[in-house]
A and B are shown apart, each in its own frame.
Chain A
Amino acid sequence: MANVSDDELKAMTQEERVTALGMRTDQLAGRAMRVEFDPDEEERFEYPWAPQVDFNKRGEIDADDFDTTGLNRQIRAMMAEGYGTIVLKNPRGKHSVGVGILTRLNLIIEGSCGYFAVGLIDGVNVRVNGRVGWSCGENMMAGTIVVEKNAGSTFGAAIRGGDLVCKGSVGSRTGIDQKGGTIIVGGDTGALSGFMMQRGRMVVCGNAGKNLGDSMYDGTIFVGGKIQSCGVDAVEAELTDLDKAWLTRKLTQYDLLPAKGVDHFTKIVAGKQLWNYDNLEPNEKKLIL
């Protein structure tokens, strides 16, 4: 914090006070996101403890042989041996499969998973040749998850980065508290999708349930089908050429581009009428107000 006295702060305008305190006042809007990291940092960040894996070294795990903890330990043990591509067979709805992997890996899951599948990951490429239960990809930082069938509710809750794709339909509250990244749904999504969304993009090729984007602070939602209703402070915006180009590229990437293109998509953004949200932390606000 800048070395200024309380009296000096009181004498300043709010703009001067904020600057003197070392804070920022730029508006957080849409895709105009700030660069928070050193641009000279290596593009492919890796955790120092991350094992070096070889994508061409491929191994298999039969999930029938393990409980959930054992299964996740086995994935890590194989990564420590350098396996960069792991095929996991017979998950049979087990919960928390492949969670907390913080390094590069190709994880192919042959079957369906239960709750919290591949949550808390950072940089893993996952393909699930089945369905997933609630909260798939929760809090993922980076990487790609592609689910071939349906997904349960809270798909991509609080994700911060990466691409999370469900080729089927998903349950309710998709992308609740989404903080970044992209969520793509090939089918329909349920009620309260995008609830309290803060950043990132969500694409729903089918229909969206009621209260879409309720209380969203920022971010963008694209819907190809019908929207049952928008939630509080979620408003329709113009679909720009830039949006169309991005949608076309992203949906083509995952083989989900509709035959009729993307011109029919509806774009939903935050109306920004929720005044209880700004770019100051609570303790910073206390100092100013």
Chain B
Amino acid sequence: MCGIAGLIHRGKSSAVGAEMTSMLQALKHRGPDSTGYAVYGAPLKQGECIIRLKVAEAEDMEKGRGIYQVLEERKAAVDKVLAEHKVKVKSKHEATPYAMRIEIAFDGDMADLAAHLEEQEGVEILSIGNGLELIKDLGDARDVAGAYALENFKGTHSIGHTRMATESDVDIRSAHPYWAFPYNDVSVVHNGQITNYWIMRREMERLGHRFQSNCDSELLAVYVAHYITAGKTLEETLRQSIQDIDGVFTYLVATKDELGMAKDTMAAKPLVLYESDDLIAMASEDVAIRAILPHEIETSDPYDEEVRVWQT
């Protein structure tokens, strides 16, 4: 099943971390396995970005005391790579023993840096962004928001996901949102099944893209990032995706200053939409939107093949 949610404030920042937590907690019944957020804060200066990465899976922490020694070695390996690339580390924070947030200043080749970091054993980059921070972990929204202090996060927009694992494992690697390696600030959440996943993945891999997982949703992130970097607008990319990608799906895409949605040709997967002058909110179910807007509001269901994009 899975639950997806998105919200975007126009022309202002808000407590998007807390808002998204309320929405995702209301969708917990759609997927209790893991919860993920892509939150977009105020953009940093040119050349600065935030790396969110993990050095182990949550389940690795059950392997006994020795895991802490392993984690220290992996973190040291990350530091060594950053030093080799002459990255200026502005701050470093560990929300959990295996998840790190590193704010850096770097004007080199980001793709090369990302690839080098992921060559280190156990290291997986969740996101790199000028405004994007991608957080995902096992448990419900309250658990994840508490561990990663998301209640205090201020920003303009966010997308989130509650996952019911079907075709891949219950782990952080298979949790949503997906970041489009190595492109800054693009994230995707998805509800559905993509039936031509392997054909499309092969096509993307031939174009030089790499995948972190075997989850079909990751394809959307890679696909969107590919066409955006090729010069298409987000709206053009989403429209094309409906023709190129088979299956039943509703998915949300966020970039540094946009939030978009796309539905498949059958409108088989739900999405409810609320729009006002200063806030757009959408979710798999009404109950999530009403978790942040308790007063009576007008909502609607987008139709088949519908694509919408909103700016901050």
Asked if A175 is an interface residue, CB under 8 A from chain B, the answer is: no
Do A153 and B294 touch (CB < 8 A)?
A: no
- When C-beta atoms are compared, the residue in chain B nearest to A171 turns out to be B301
Q: Contact at A131–B286, with CB atoms within 8 Å?
A: yes
Query: B267 and A93: CB pair below 8 A?
Result: no
Interface residue A269 (Cβ < 8 Å from any Cβ of B): no
Contacts of A149 in B (CB 8 A): 298-299
B-chain residues with CB within 8 Å of residue A196 when the two chains form the complex: none
Interface size class of B (residues with CB under 8 A): 20 to 34
Instruction: Provide the main secondary structure of the chain B interface.
Output: loop
> Counting CB contacts under 8 A, is B266 at the interface?
yes
Task: Tell me which residues across on chain A come within 8 A of B300, comparing CB atoms.
Answer: 150, 168-169
Tell me the nearest residue of chain B to A191, going by C-beta: B304
Which of A92, A169, A170 makes the CB contact (< 8 A) with B287?
A: A92
Asked if B267 and A150 make an inter-chain contact with CB atoms under 8 angstroms apart, the answer reads: no
Q: 1/0 per position for B7-32, CB-CB distance to A under 8 A?
A: 00000000000000000000000000
State whether A152 touches B272 (Cβ < 8 A).
yes
Take A93-B286, A94-B287, A133-B286 as given contacts and tell me if A190 and B294 are in contact as well, using a CB distance cutoff of 8 Å: no
* A82-B51 Cα distance, complex, nearest whole Å: 63
Q: A209 — which chain B residues lie within 8 A by C-beta?
A: 303-304
Provide the main secondary structure of the chain A interface: loop
Q: How far is the CA of A147 from the CA of B289 in the complex (A)?
A: 19
Are A114 and B287 interface neighbours, CB within 8 A?
yes
Q: Which of B251-299 contact A (CB under 8 A)?
A: 265-268, 270, 272, 285-290, 294, 296-299
**B285–A114 CB distance below 8 A:** yes
**Residue numbers in A under 8 Å from B268 (CB-CB):** 172
Q: Do B290 and A92 have beta carbons less than 8 Å apart?
A: yes
Closest to B287 in A: A93
- B265 neighbours in A (Cβ, 8 Å): 191
5 contacts between A and B (CB under 8 A): A171-B267, A171-B301, A171-B303, A191-B303, A191-B304
Chain B residues near A (Cβ < 8 Å): 265-268, 270, 272, 285-290, 294, 296-301, 303-304
The 4 closest A-B pairs by CB, nearest first: A93-B287, A171-B301, A93-B286, A172-B267
